Amino acid sequence: MKHLLSIADLSRDEIGEIMDTAISMHDVQRRQVKKLPTLRGRTIINFFFEDSTRTRSSFEIAGKWMSADTINLTGKGTSVSKGESLRDTVKTVDAMGVDMMIVRHMASGAPAQIAQWTNCSIVNAGDGMHEHPSQALLDAYTLRSKLGDLDGKHIAIVGDLTHSRVLRSNLLCLRALGANVTLVAPPTLMPSGIGSWAATDSFEVSYDLDAVLPHVDAVMMLRVQRERMSGGYFPTAREYAVRYGLTARRLALMPRHAVITHPGPMNRGLEISADAADDAQSLVLDQVSAGVAVRMSILFHLLSGEGSSA
Amino acid sequence: MTDTQSPGGAPPAGAPSIEGRTVLADQDVSRALRRVAHEILEGNKGADGLVLLGIPTRGVALAHRLAALIKDVEGTEVPTGSLDITMHRDDLRKQPVRAVETTELPQGGIDGKVVILVDDVLFSGRTVRAALDSLADYGRPRIVRLAVLVDRGHRELPIRADYVGKNLPTAKTERVAVRLAEVDGHEEVRIGAPGRP
């Protein structure tokens, strides 16, 4: 494994191995000395052309705890703002001899393209509306640690699905692990052509959250992007909250053992109520905590082993 | 750390049977361990402050067995755990990606304790070097000692074992395989011809 560009490139076993290693890395996180010498002398660039809190900081912490040298670059404050092309920018950085670039970019497919241009390992940290594989792996890890093996578990993914890269990666990951997935969204926020996609990858589609909730083992709430509210995807925030928000009433519809995840940042009162976000079954903070462990595991799997990049 | 070791330490290869001759048969392994348990107690003047830490996979089984033997003799439960050293290896880039095993330290920790590291085969010494590094992340033992079932020589670092079940002269290219009932279902130490087992 040299790159992590899409969950589709991973086998079920590889996903399992990354999650298993993350268990040990989670232990490191609870130690007093949070430092492993594993990636000493390796250099990792966090290349974020789009804003991020969690992903960037957790990748940076993950790299530092494994003794790699990590450097952050953003679109702003680099030659990108002087008009340098993406290709020239990444080739310049590659020429300095870095081992890995962790890339977030607004254009779908940018990390895959960069992987063609450079010699280093590329991790996709979110590209446009395409994928966000490390998020899917940490979601699966968090769910597995609460629910056990995900094979046969029923998981609903709810929210702004059209624009969500988290959805695409999670769907692939959960299906690879054998979970039954139901997508729930207003028709306007359901990706177009969902019918044929659902048929190929065998998952369910529903527009009625109340009907789905009594049967779930987990519900994954995705962020509604407020910035798109004027785009006519739904009339008002209130209407969305009433029909698709995880309210206190809906919380009561879920089986007692069912858990709630949200990749953050949350819009409290919109897609998720404070009752749900702070419920005992909410794994939101477990997800953040797992984020570092899973990303350490990803770095380990990509940067150790025979033939890992120079 | 594992059964069939090359100087850099080979990945655990499941439990393939290897050609060659048996050096320790079923009973011999138990006998050697019993002696090692006694030597540990003798060296420490009892079981006070002892902590046994096995290096996965077979070192952990050996550590638990030593703990049981010590209990037979002294009646004391010695805290026993495991110490995974994968992340501290110096050959990670020369081998396929390794599975990371669990580290479980006993409740009381290792600060101020007499830690006995337990492994199946001592060869290059690199595994032990990694274990010593890893140990430092968890605390400061008063003393660290090393117990191995087999010492096959060919050290690449200034490291030696304090307690040895069997000294086994080998050629560097030969392979040594340890099989334990807990892990492999049967028990023996075999020495095999060079090359793939």
Give the pLDDT confidence of A260-307 residue by residue, as tens digits.
Answer: 999 989 999 999 999 999 999 999 999 999 999 999 999 999 998 765
- C-alpha closest to that of A263 among A246, A288, A240, A297: A288
- C-alpha closest to that of A215 among A184, A247, A175: A184
How many structural domains are present in chain A?
A: 2
Does domain B27-170 fall into CATH 3.40.50.2020?
yes
Residues A265, A168 share a domain: yes
Cβ–Cβ below 8 Å for B138 and A33? yes
Contact A284, A218 (CB under 8 A): no
B60 torsion bin: left (phi>0), alpha (psi -120 to 50), beta (else): alpha
| Alpha-carbon gap, residue A91 to A14, rounded angstroms | 29
Calculate mean pLDDT across residues A98-121: 95
Cα–chain center distance at A116: 23
CA angle B124–B8–B2, rounded 5-degree value: 80
Contact B95, A17 (CB under 8 A): no
- C-alpha closest to that of B29 among B168, B160, B197, B173: B168
Cβ–Cβ below 8 Å for A31 and B138? yes
Give B8's pLDDT tier (boundaries 50, 70, 90). very low
Contact A117, A90 (CB under 8 A): yes
Residues A104, A165 share a domain: no
- C-alpha closest to that of A19 among A125, A143, A137: A137
Measured between beta carbons, which residues in chain B are less than 8 angstroms from residue A36?
A: 87-88, 137
Residues A199, A87 share a domain: no
* Percent of chain A scoring above 90 in pLDDT: 78
Q: Which amino acid is at B105?
A: L
Q: What is the mean pLDDT of chain B?
A: 87
Calculate mean pLDDT across residues A88-97: 92
Cβ–Cβ below 8 Å for B97 and A304? yes
The per-residue pLDDT for A78 is 74
pLDDT tens sequence across A38-57: 999 999 999 999 888 889 99
pLDDT tens sequence across B104-147: 888 888 999 999 999 999 999 999 999 999 998 888 999 999 99
- C-alpha closest to that of A169 among A202, A134, A194, A204: A134
Nearest CA in chain B to A36: B87
For residue B154, report the phi and psi dihedrals to the nearest 5 degrees.
65, 45
A contact test, residue of B83, B92, B103, B132 with most A CBs within 10 A = B92
Cβ–Cβ below 8 Å for A304 and B88? no
* Percent of chain B scoring above 90 in pLDDT: 66
CA distance B46 to chain A (A): 31
Q: Give yes or no for B84 touching A (CB within 8 A).
A: yes
The per-residue pLDDT for B2 is 45
Residues A232, A155 share a domain: yes
Q: What is the mean pLDDT of chain A?
A: 92
The per-residue pLDDT for A308 is 54
Does residue A219 fall inside a structural domain?
yes
CA distance B25 to chain A (A): 35
Nearest CA in chain A to B97: A305
- Closest partner residue to B94 (CB to CB) among A24, A27, A306 is A306
Q: Give yes or no for B100 touching A (CB within 8 A).
A: yes
The per-residue pLDDT for A208 is 95
Contacts across the A-B interface (CB distance below 8 Å): 52
Give B30's pLDDT tier (boundaries 50, 70, 90). very high
| Alpha-carbon gap, residue B28 to A89, rounded angstroms | 65
pLDDT for residue A228 is more than 80: no
pLDDT for residue A1 is more than 90: no
Does residue A2 fall inside a structural domain?
no
Please indicate whether residue B192 or residue B9 has the higher confidence score (pLDDT): B192
Cα–chain center distance at B174: 19
Residues A120, A20 share a domain: yes
| Alpha-carbon gap, residue B17 to B23, rounded angstroms | 14
Does residue A308 fall inside a structural domain?
no
pLDDT tens sequence across A169-200: 999 999 999 999 999 999 999 998 898 989 88
Can you tell me whether residue A161 is helix, strand or coil?
A: coil
Residues A123, A208 share a domain: no
What are the DSSP E strand ranges found in chain A?
Answer: 43-48, 69-74, 100-105, 121-127, 154-158, 180-184, 204-206, 218-221, 259-261
Burial category of A45 from C-beta neighbours within 10 Å (exposed 0-12, middle 13-18, buried 19 and up): buried
CA distance B106 to chain A (A): 14
| Alpha-carbon gap, residue A277 to A271, rounded angstroms | 10
The per-residue pLDDT for B7 is 43
Q: Give yes or no for A17 touching B (CB within 8 A).
A: yes
The per-residue pLDDT for A51 is 85
Cβ–Cβ below 8 Å for B100 and A36? no
| Alpha-carbon gap, residue B189 to B176, rounded angstroms | 7
B contact test, residue of A24, A25, A29, A66 with most B CBs within 10 A = A24
Cβ–Cβ below 8 Å for A24 and B88? no
The answer, yes or no, to whether the previous bond of B57 is cis (omega within 30 of 0) is yes
- Closest partner residue to B92 (CB to CB) among A1, A17, A304 is A304
| Alpha-carbon gap, residue A76 to A65, rounded angstroms | 27
Measured between beta carbons, which residues in chain B are less than 8 angstroms from residue A17?
A: 97, 99
For residue A220, report the phi and psi dihedrals to the nearest 5 degrees.
-105, 110
pLDDT tens sequence across A5-21: 999 999 999 999 999 99
B contact test, residue of A304, A308, A309 with most B CBs within 10 A = A304
| Alpha-carbon gap, residue A135 to A27, rounded angstroms | 20
Does residue A228 fall inside a structural domain?
yes
The per-residue pLDDT for B18 is 58
Residues A142, A119 share a domain: no
Chain B residues 123-142 with a CB less than 8 Å from chain A: 133, 136-138
Which of A202-216, A246-260, B18-32, B116-130 comes out lowest in average pLDDT? B18-32
Chain A residues 261-300 with a CB less than 8 Å from chain B: 300
Chain A residues 18-77 with a CB less than 8 Å from chain B: 20-21, 23-25, 27, 31, 33, 35-38, 66
Residues A103, A12 share a domain: yes
For every residue of A280-295, DSSP letters joined together read TTB-HHHHHHHHHHHH
**CA distance readout (Å), B31 to A255, B34, B35, B41, B115:** 56, 5, 6, 16, 23
Contact B59, B32 (CB under 8 A): no
The per-residue pLDDT for A74 is 86
Beta bridge partners, A158, equal A184, A221
Measured between beta carbons, which residues in chain B are less than 8 angstroms from residue A1?
A: 97
The per-residue pLDDT for A229 is 58
Measured between beta carbons, which residues in chain B are less than 8 angstroms from residue A304?
A: 92-93, 97-98
CA angle A253–A254–A260, rounded 5-degree value: 130
Residue A185: CATH number of its domain: 3.40.50.1370
Can you tell me whether residue B149 is helix, strand or coil?
A: strand
pLDDT tens sequence across B12-25: 444 555 568 899 98
Residues A139, A96 share a domain: no
Helices (H) and strands (E) counted in chain A, each on its own, are 12, 9
Calculate mean pLDDT across residues B166-185: 92
**CA distance readout (Å), A158 to A145, A224, A241:** 21, 10, 12
- Closest partner residue to B95 (CB to CB) among A21, A301, A306 is A306
Nearest CA in chain A to B90: A38
List the domain range (segments joined by +) for residue A257. 133-287
| Alpha-carbon gap, residue A304 to A301, rounded angstroms | 6
Which helix (H) or strand (E) segment holds residue B33: the answer is helix B26-44
Cα–chain center distance at A113: 20
Q: Give yes or no for B91 touching A (CB within 8 A).
A: no
Can you tell me whether residue A215 is helix, strand or coil?
A: helix
Kindly indicate whether the ipTM for this predicted assembly is greater than 0.85, answering yes or no: no
